[in-house]
Amino acid sequence: MAKTRKQPRPKAETPKGFRDYFGAEVTERAEMLQKIAGVYHRYGFDALESSAVETVEALGKFLPDTDRPNEGVFAWQEEDEHGKGDWLALRYDLTAPLARVYAQHRNDLPTPYRRYAMGPVWRNEKPGPGRYRQFYQCDADTVGSARMAADAEMCAMLAEVLEEVGIPRGDYIVRVNNRKVLNGVLESMGLAEEEERSAAVMRTIDKFDKVGEEGVRQLLTTGRKDASGAFIEGVGLSPDQAEPVLAFLTSKAADAAGTLDNLRAAVGESAIGGEGVRELEEIAALLAAQGYGPDRVEIDPSVVRGLGYYTGPVFEAELTFEIHDDKGRKRQFGSVAGGGRYDDLVKRFTGQAVPATGVSVGVDRLLAALHAKGRIGGTVEGPVVVTVMDRDSMADYQEMVGELRDAGIRAEVYLGNPKNFGNQLKYADRRGAPAAVIQGADEKEKGVVQIKDLVLGAQIAESATLEEWKERPSQVEVPRGRLLETVREILGVRT
């Protein structure tokens, strides 16, 4: 009789493009989300939590560089009585689901409908350094208003969000452009009806920051070699066809008025292009009236945004400070948020035009930026650890920890094997505990507790002389009734 083969053990590893988040990381994200939500709430937006799963049809084909409706997303097909049902997918952003929510519940919602949402999204893309398939977004959107004041508000709010989470003025810029202006340029080139080549041109424009004017010229025409030496095919435009795009990309002047003049020249006689320039002019005026100058928000023709549903103003928040990459090279951190107007997204469901605009903050990118600048991170204080010297006194230890918790102090009783006391202190060190509470049979009989200041103890062990050790004892004995008072003193907590 053949032996039954053992089932191989599963590998304990995260799938490619995904990662696990532990204590401090989760706490930092929660605190950031709370700050961003506070700004959104202050601006009058209401919270919404929608389903993480949508039909592929409802999500639509808006991710860049995709050939099939379910490419770029994590999708699967439901089974019905005939064996096949709807294709479902994890949401790739928070905007496409909002269009479905508004279309479904529009009779019960105010117009305009102002909502914010936050949570994970998933994209089935090739992972890379700092690029994950699951990441957090934090969005705010206004559905039902065509006024440029709604778009200007998004830009102002985005600036406030960045400052609220710890990015000071001078370390960021919100850049604003308009898809209508770009469409006007494409129209003047005779490419407005060529969807495939227009999309290729937009993808090329999006690389302007990386490859510069000459790199874009090569990519629009015959192609170029990248940094690795690999040849990238060009779009195939003639040099004359490429010129309007380059004029558009280099339209940025010393001030908004100059940029707008250059954009008018770039779009020529195009009606849609002229409309886009007028919208940018209105947004710039509204922001200036609120005190948002070019040090915080500026018009920049190089902003395109990759998603295909944008129809008007688009904006992107870029961090301007330098960091060091994995190889020690200096580089700018780049984009951490973006958004724009998407007037046709709800129309897919209702058949009626519903204007909308919104902004999305990449929370994980923003956290990485703050870590890179040393503005968050470092040692996170753990709980006070009540050690176990006597198994039969567990009720006493629980009483102590309860007293600390009732006073708002993070605390826990050691729940491992109490046989080796040294291991309990090692555990407290690994937890980052600021203090340990000790009471054995002798201390209990005398009605006292020993409290060890683990932070001070570590400092003394590193640098203090024997005399200093005696003058600044890291462990004190106090009456049981002074437990809370003494722990508070160690933690620097006021009563």
Residue 13 counted as domain residue: no
Q: For residue 379, what pLDDT is reported? A: 65
Question: Tens digits of per-residue pLDDT, 197-212?
Answer: 777 887 787 788 778 8
Q: Are residues 126 and 229 in the same domain?
A: yes
Judge contact between 123 and 17, C-beta under 8 A: no
Percent of the chain with pLDDT over 90: 57
Q: Are residues 395 and 317 in the same domain?
A: no
Give the domain CATH number at 212. Answer: 3.30.930.10
CB atoms within 10 A of CB 430: 9
Q: Are residues 169 and 53 in the same domain?
A: yes
Which amino acid would we find at residue 267?
A: V
Q: Are residues 139 and 263 in the same domain?
A: yes
Q: Are residues 366 and 389 in the same domain?
A: no
Domain span at residue 460 reads: 384-491
Residue 16 counted as domain residue: no
Q: For residue 72, what pLDDT is reported? A: 86
Q: Are residues 276 and 331 in the same domain?
A: yes
Tokens linked to 103: 């279309």
Question: Tens digits of per-residue pLDDT, 366-380?
Answer: 998 888 877 777 667
Give the domain CATH number at 453. Answer: 3.40.50.800
Which amino acid would we find at residue 390?
A: D
Residue 154 counted as domain residue: yes
- Which of 225, 253, 45, 50 shows the shortest CA–CA distance to 141? 45
Residue 233 counted as domain residue: yes
Q: Are residues 203 and 343 in the same domain?
A: yes
Query: What is the Cα–Cα distance from 366 to 319, expressed in whole angstroms?
Result: 9
Judge contact between 87 and 70, C-beta under 8 A: yes
CB atoms within 10 A of CB 351: 8
Q: Across 260-346, where does the E strand assignment appear?
A: 297-299, 313-324, 330-341
Judge contact between 207 and 303, C-beta under 8 A: no
- The domain boundary residue, chosen from 372, 404, 427: 372
Residues whose CB is less than 8 angstroms from the CB of residue 289 and which lie 6 or more positions away in sequence, other chains included: none
Query: What is the Cα–Cα distance from 174 to 320, expressed in whole angstroms?
Result: 10
Question: Tens digits of per-residue pLDDT, 124-154?
Answer: 988 877 778 999 999 999 999 999 999 999 9
Residue 48 counted as domain residue: yes
Residue 111 counted as domain residue: yes
Q: Are residues 341 and 430 in the same domain?
A: no
Tokens linked to 285: 């005026």
Number of domains in the chain: 2
Q: Are residues 447 and 365 in the same domain?
A: no
Give the chain's length: 495
90, 92, 98, 99: CA torsion to nearest 10: -100
Q: Are residues 114 and 149 in the same domain?
A: yes
- Strand arrangement, sheet containing 113-122: 46-47, 113-122, 134-143, 356-362, 330-341, 313-324, 172-178, 297-299
Question: Tens digits of per-residue pLDDT, 275-292?
Answer: 999 999 999 999 999 999
Q: For residue 347, what pLDDT is reported? A: 92
Which pTM was predicted?
0.82
Query: What is the Cα–Cα distance from 173 to 175, expressed in whole angstroms?
Result: 6
Give me the phi and psi of 371, to 5 degrees please: -65, -45
- The domain boundary residue, chosen from 372, 395, 424: 372
- The domain boundary residue, chosen from 372, 398, 417: 372
Residue 220 counted as domain residue: yes
Q: Are residues 417 and 270 in the same domain?
A: no
Give 316's pLDDT tier (boundaries 50, 70, 90).
very high
Q: For residue 173, what pLDDT is reported? A: 95
Q: Are residues 335 and 428 in the same domain?
A: no
Residue 15 counted as domain residue: no
